[in-house]
Amino acid sequence: MNKKFTLLTLSLIGYSYAFSQISERQASTLKDTTNLGEVIINQNRLQIPFSKQTRNIQIITQEDIKRLPARSVNELLSYINGVDVRQRGPFGSQADVTIDGGSFEQTLILLNGAKISDPQTAHHSLNLPIPTDAIERIEIIKGPASRIYGINSLTGAINIVTKKAVNNLVSAQIYGGSSFQNSEDTHTGKYYGKGFQLGITNKVGKLEQQLYLGHEDSNGQRYNTASRNNKIYYQGSYAPNDQNNISTSVGFIDNQFGANGYYASPGDKESYELVKTAFATVQSKHKITNALTISPRISNRYNEDDYQYFRHDLNNARSLHYNNAFMAELNATYEKNFGSFGIGMESRFENINSSNIGRHNRENYGGYLEFKTESIPNLFVNLGTYLNYNSDYSWQMFPGIDLGYDINNHWKLIFNAGSSQRIPSFTDLYINQRPANIGNPQLQAERARQVEGAIKYTSNHIIAQAGYFYRTITDFIDWTRSQSTEPWQPQNMDNNEVQGFNVNFRVNLNALDSNTKYYATMGYSYLHPKINDNTAENNVSKYAIESLRNQINLNFTISHMAWSLTTANRFNERLSYKSYFISDLRFAHQLDKLNLYADAQNLFNVKYIEAGAVPMPGTWYTLGAKYTIGY
């Protein structure tokens, strides 16, 4: 505890010292490489810069990715306040993600605005072939986002935005780590993990291309928890002129891992899972007139899931799933001097062929209309509605409004209200995986309403926001059982209510004339969830009882010339599990084209569980090197 207190104190001293420098440097231009105020949040239609946003949005920038002691999207998201990442192993083997106390099925995952969430089960939504080297930023949009992205963004959405090829570069990164402890599996020796990423970017005239390859593997800290994944990602774009652009992206990941304790402990000690995911997207943007812009897009996501409950007996309790989701969209914006209109439509076709879910198909069609205006002095208004039809759940409408009032150049009052829906996954409805899990074909769709108020401060060196939200979900879905001998089965609860308070703070102190610079982010969130259901008093919840109550994130970086030191700390208190404090460090040095780094994760060797019955690794040390060269 003394070590934890010392490190936390050093972080706070760093914050205090950073603040003391603000008054001394008012005349200097203080900015990060990424000017967050100018970043356009990728909402597919209306273009709204971050500085004018009236939603609770957090961004992981390219600079954050370089500084933080993380090598996967899962690990990066764990440093964001209000985001709960429940990993079942390191190196991205499997993880669920939730926002502001929702379930892992209620968060929509997107890549450059295209939906890539899994219709079979959200357990695979983060099975992504996107290496961190390819990411420009990650946008976390909190609150119901159906008005923006359609169904299944019940509590929020996470949009991964990839880089553009601006130079001809080749990069290679290798890393390896160990706890220097023996694996519980006595046949594998010391517990270790390693990986590499290769990337090439090319820009010739109007054509931009990128290609990334990656591999990660670990021998597993426990019996039957070894993991391995291979991934490839390609992105290309062509802009014949300023009015037209066409782009494409293709990705594939082959992920395998021992799943001991992942989903149905203690019976799944010998379980193993193989997941293969492929997606492709083609989209374009055309400026028809000075006022009208259209953006068509088609995308496809295919997933194979081979879950072997008894890996040594494939004839017993094996689950083979093949699912596909095809989507076509047309987004348009129309600009007038009094405001901007967003309009569009989309269709999504999902199907699954499974050994224990069966064959099922469903269709989804949506259309939206949105309007934003700043014609009223100091007031920003963004309102609209999304109309959706699902072949299983009929018609739904999701209206919403966002308001922002500028008190002055720095302070803004924010209010937003919205609604959303989450369609049950194929697993929720039809899984027959006795004795572990069974589905419920009588499930109704979840429906949410949320209101939020906040105050926001922005300047060229500080972004801060404090807010309160209230959300209610009707027909909330949770997996429950009344006895340990029964299988888990999803049920519709009467409703789920969550009240939340959050504070987020970001400061970048980068004086152009200084060799020493400071970066800091801090967040605190408090959640008060309540499930009202008089019919299930004796049932035990599989997921809801694990949600967070208190969460604190504190990250601080100091860099001096080519050297940098980052401390990333997070405190999580769950409703039914002991709280834990995790502290990570990264020490890095830039040597011309070579970047060297050393990480220490879970510095104080804390014993904790994020999901299932899987204890997370203790102290973990990693050495890595990345070499980049132009051509």
Write the DSSP assignment of 534-551 as a string of letters: TT-TTPEESSGGG-EEEE
Mean pLDDT for the stretch of residues 114-139: 89
Q: Number of structural domains, the chain?
A: 1
Question: Minimum mean pLDDT among 9-18, 188-197, 232-241: which range?
Answer: 9-18
List C-alpha distances in Å: 6 to 10, 359, 604.
6, 57, 12
pLDDT at 5 > cutoff 70: no
pLDDT at 177 > cutoff 70: yes
Backbone CA torsion sign across 465, 470, 474, 480: positive
* Residue 3 DSSP SS3: helix
Placement of tokens 């089965």 in the chain: 489
Identify any residues that bridge with 342 across adjacent strands, giving them in sequence order: 333, 370
* pLDDT tens for each residue of 268-279: 899 999 999 999
* pLDDT tens for each residue of 271-313: 999 999 999 999 999 999 999 999 999 999 999 999 998 999 9
pLDDT at 604 > cutoff 70: yes
pLDDT at 353 > cutoff 90: yes
Mean pLDDT for the stretch of residues 402-412: 95
pLDDT at 21 > cutoff 60: no
How many helices and strands (H and E) does the chain possess? 5, 36
Higher-confidence residue of 83 and 39: namely 83
Return the pLDDT at 393: 94
| Cα 368 from Cα 370, distance rounded (Å) | 7
pLDDT at 514 > cutoff 90: no
Mean pLDDT, the chain, rounded, equals: 88
| Cα 154 from Cα 147, distance rounded (Å) | 10
Q: Give residue 611's pLDDT band: very low, low, confident or very high (50, 70, 90).
A: confident
Q: What is the CATH number of the domain that holds 39?
A: 2.40.170.20
| Cα 631 from Cα 627, distance rounded (Å) | 13
pLDDT at 464 > cutoff 90: yes
Residues near 486 by Cβ (< 8 Å), separated by ≥ 6? Answer: none
Q: Give residue 14's pLDDT band: very low, low, confident or very high (50, 70, 90).
A: very low
| Cα 174 from Cα 190, distance rounded (Å) | 20
pLDDT at 44 > cutoff 90: no
Mean pLDDT for the stretch of residues 336-357: 95
Residue 187 corresponds to which tokens in the numbers above?
């046949």
Any idea how long the chain is?
A: 631
Read off the pTM: 0.91
Mean pLDDT for the stretch of residues 418-438: 90
* pLDDT tens for each residue of 193-215: 999 999 999 999 999 999 999 99
* Residue 562 DSSP SS3: coil
- Residue 131 CA, chain-centre distance (Å), reads 14
* Peptide bond between residue 435 and the one before it cis (omega within 30 degrees of 0): yes
Placement of tokens 């469903």 in the chain: 362
Return the pLDDT at 366: 95
Residue 21: phi, psi to the nearest 5?
A: -80, -15
Return the pLDDT at 232: 96
Residue 489: Cβ within 10 Å count: 17
In this structure, what DSSP letter does residue 23 have? G
- Residue 186 CA, chain-centre distance (Å), reads 35
Domain that holds residue 44: 2-630
